[in-house]
Amino acid sequence: MGNLQQTTGNGQQKTDNDTIAAIATPIGQAGIGIIRISGPLSAEIAEKTFRPQKPVQGLNSHHLYLGNFLDPSSGDMVDEVLLSFMKAPHSYTREDIVEINSHSGYLLLSRILQIILDQGARLARPGEFTLRAFLNGRIDLTQAEAVIDLINAKSDRGLHLASQQIQGTFRNEIEGLRQKAIDFLAHAEVAIDFPDEESEIISREKTSKRIGKEIVKPIEDLIEAQATKRLWVDGINTVIVGRVNAGKSSILNRLLNEQRAIVTAIPGTTRDIIESTITIEGLPLRLMDTAGFRNVKNEVERIGIHFTEQKLAEADFLLVVIDQSRPLNHNDHNIIAQSRGKNALIVINKIDLPSRLSKEAEHDAFSGLPIVKISALTGQGLDQLRKGISGCLLKGDIDVTSPDVAPNLRHRQALIDAAQFFKSAGRKAKKDAPMEIVAFELKSGLDALGKIIGETTTEEVLDSIFSQFCLGK
């Protein structure tokens, strides 16, 4: 537990006192760009660099001012800007914040930022504004993580889950479980202090049952919800596989409605994985086109096929493309065999050409698998393909009525640990183990839950979370 550090929402670990600044909007040409400053020097920097159009006595919090941004070293006007000031603690970071809306363009934004840095701010690290919001107790760790989910969400549902989490629904759920565990712990401690009265205070059998029902079961439900959430937030890993030249890239292009992947009559055209996100009937798909299967000697293509095999193994859903103008060969049979036991849709392509699939072969090879028939060339059957995809996904693992709160992978691990400890506490309570041991298991479970909200978190964990942020967030 050497480097376990308390970083509570009550600010036990303090942020440094630096004033930080960053460009908060994406680099590139856009209508406006925003530069954000947070920390004790914010207002002072604004006063040195900003001349409001109408003179004011100091900046009022949560007001928007029109004026000019100046370089104080030369007095030159840099841009006409809108400036707002959010006084601590009523701001994103709970520190004084100044935001400057300028015209956009990388050079202009960089110049404004440089002037701000010259006035004593330092460049913010990725996620540092949100880190400060966490360290200053405005949000807990689950809310900070939801900010990343919100930015990365691939579907309406993913957005909804992230926005729920930002509002603290998940945090409340975990806090509720922690409170229950604390109640049990209090009972256990009373029993330790007054051993003779133990039987009157709690019946061990009953306690064990209640720990199971009120703590372990809800934790297990949350663990289950994680799998669903991953699909909604990150998208369903959908991998298009098949023999070379079957029409995989043509199908990707058709679904995306653009010429994303190169299509040629040369077998082995695709080598790298080509990835794009689409939504089909509200379902977010991370669609991946892959190198076709065949026996190859060429090194580049061999690597491509190796990637395909990896993606195939990780896929949530497979589109298995079969070229009906060629009889099935051992590559087709192999791919079909690998897709059994997975959620897969057989896409028989090139129906504009005469079929060379024998009825028996078709019957045997595809038995029990859902099939759609299309022509990627003419577009025939494309609607059935979309329906087939959503049909497969909805009957599969994807719970459309998934809960409003759902953990991520980090939470999942902590929940699994917590469930173990609480289960063990329940078992030991029942078996008349010394109450000290029951209390110890309860405390360990509490610690595991505390990691989720950031009550007890190592510095490495914080680093790994906040490094996923972009600059200026």
Applying the rule CB under 6 A, the residues between 3 and 62 that interact with ligand GTP are none
Minimum distance between the CB of residue 211 and ligand GTP, rounded to whole angstroms? 55
Q: How far apart are CA 406 and CA 399, in angstroms?
A: 12
Q: How far apart are CA 384 and CA 373, in angstroms?
A: 8
Which residue from 13, 61, 68, 269 is in contact with Mg ion, where contact means CB under 5 A? 269
Which residue from 15, 19, 49, 349 is in contact with ligand GTP, where contact means CB under 6 A? 349
From the list Mg ion, ligand GTP, none, pick the one residue 424 interacts with, judged by a Cβ distance below 5 to 8 Å according to partner type.
Answer: none
Minimum distance between the CB of residue 268 and ligand GTP, rounded to whole angstroms? 5
Applying the rule CB under 6 A, the residues between 433 and 462 that interact with ligand GTP are none
Token pair of 13, please?
Answer: 């670990």
Minimum distance between the CB of residue 113 and Mg ion, rounded to whole angstroms? 43
379: contact with ligand GTP by CB under 6 A: no
- CA-wise closest residue to 109 among 191, 171, 31: 31
Cβ proximity to Mg ion: between 99 and 301 the closer is 301
Which residue from 136, 249, 343, 349 is in contact with Mg ion, where contact means CB under 5 A? 249
Bridge partner residues of 155 (DSSP) = none
Q: How far apart are CA 148 and CA 414, in angstroms?
A: 19
Q: How far apart are CA 291 and CA 118, in angstroms?
A: 52
349: contact with Mg ion by CB under 5 A: no
C-alpha angle with apex 325: 356 to 250, nearest 5 degrees? 155
Token pair of 225, please?
Answer: 């919800």
What DSSP state is assigned to residue 213? I
Applying the rule CB under 6 A, the residues between 275 and 334 that interact with ligand GTP are 292
Token pair of 472, please?
Answer: 């200026």
Helix spans in 243-326 (H): 248-256, 299-314
From the list ligand GTP, Mg ion, none, pick the one residue 38 interacts with, judged by a Cβ distance below 5 to 8 Å according to partner type.
Answer: none
350: contact with ligand GTP by CB under 6 A: yes
* SS3 call for 268: coil
Per-residue binder mask for ligand GTP (CB under 6 A), 232-271, x = binder:
----------x-xxxxxxx------------xxx-xxxx-
Helix axis angle, 359-366 to 330-339, nearest 10°: 30
Minimum distance between the CB of residue 309 and Mg ion, rounded to whole angstroms? 16
Minimum distance between the CB of residue 364 and ligand GTP, rounded to whole angstroms? 23
Token pair of 232, please?
Answer: 């909604």
| Interface with Mg ion (CB under 5 A) | 248-249, 269-270
| Interface with ligand GTP (CB under 6 A) | 242, 244-250, 263-265, 267-270, 292, 349-350, 352-353, 375-377
